[in-house]
Amino acid sequence: MSLLRVRDLEAYYGAGQVLFGVDLEIGKGEVVALLGRNGMGKTTTVRAVMNLGVIRSGVVELGGRDLLRLPSYRIARLGVGLVPEGRQVFPHLTVRENLVATAARRSNGASLWTLNRVYELFPVLGERSRQPGDRLSGGEQQMLAIGRALMTNPRLLILDEATEGLAPLVRKEIWKCIERLKKLGHSILVIDKNLDALLRVADRHVVLEKGRVVWRGSSRELASDPRVRAEHLGV
């Protein structure tokens, strides 16, 4: 059974339809990349899975549990950890307070994420533990957003624009983190524009074009198909 199963997903902002029958599956311990140019429906897909401000229909299941009619806070409690585009850390809470604010000790089949484990993953967060979120750099805020999601001990981790707007050295650190999480057996849905990094870390890729899935396949298949890059991923 897939951990996340999405079938015939349609989504609307008001009367405007944005997603048209999107299908997506993520298995336990699998990393799946959601690809496409800007405005093609990637973030809307994430928002539809999490029930964040869109009208949706179709099938959305986590471990066989129907998510379609659940509010977003219950979806999070069932084990979906979101690292949203733009990070959205709590600006006036300290690093430590951000990490513990939504922490949960749910079992996800792996060792529990704790403050010490997050600080070991991102040592700079330990060094900045008493600083408020709005005093961190963009890269440090992204690390904090990832750490905050991990502290919920999610069954599925979603990273929307994982390295957008970050300095090259910070992007490298984030990709090292994602590779480590994969080795630890985490299930991950990742959106990003760094195709070379995604080819290295993702097991499978799903490409969206104007709210529809136009291609899906493995990293090896995507690397060997220049047509997909040219038609659907190029600027």
Gap between the Cα atoms of 231 and 235, Å rounded: 9
Q: How far is CA 189 from CA 115, 123, 178, in A?
A: 23, 24, 11
Rounded to two decimals, what is the model's pTM?
0.94
Label the pairing between strands 4-13 and 80-83.
unpaired
Percent of the chain with pLDDT over 90: 89
Contact 60, 6 (CB under 8 A): yes
Say if residue 209's pLDDT is above 80.
Answer: yes
Question: Percent of the chain scored above 70 by pLDDT?
Answer: 97
- The distance between the two most distant Cα atoms of the chain, rounded to a whole number of Å, is 49
Tell me how far apart the alpha carbons of residues 20 and 90 are, in angstroms, rounded to a whole number: 34
pLDDT surpassing 80 at residue 108: no
Residue 103 pLDDT > 60: yes
- Secondary element (H or E) of residue 99: helix 95-101
Confidence of residue 192 (pLDDT cuts 50, 70, 90): very high
Write down the pLDDT at residue 39. Answer: 93
- Grouping H, G, I as helix, E, B as strand and the rest as coil, residue 108 is coil
Residue ranges covered by each domain of the chain = 4-233
CATH topology of domain 4-233: Rossmann fold (3.40.50)
| 3-state percent breakdown (helix, strand, coil) of the chain, nearest 5 | 35, 25, 35
Rounded alpha-carbon distances, angstroms, from residue 130 to 42, 99, 127, 164: 35, 11, 8, 26
DSSP label of 235: -
Arithmetic mean of pLDDT over the chain: 94
pLDDT one-digit tens code per residue, 31-70: 999 999 999 999 999 999 999 999 899 999 999 999 999 9
pLDDT band of residue 96 (cuts 50, 70, 90) is: very high
The pLDDT, as a whole number, for residue 104 is 87
Distance between CA atoms of 162 and 143, rounded to whole angstroms? 10
pLDDT at residue 61 in the model: 97
Give the pLDDT confidence of 145-175 residue by residue, as tens digits: 999 999 999 999 999 999 999 999 999 999 9
* Band of pLDDT at residue 235, cut at 50, 70 and 90: low
The predicted structure's pLDDT at residue 109: 55
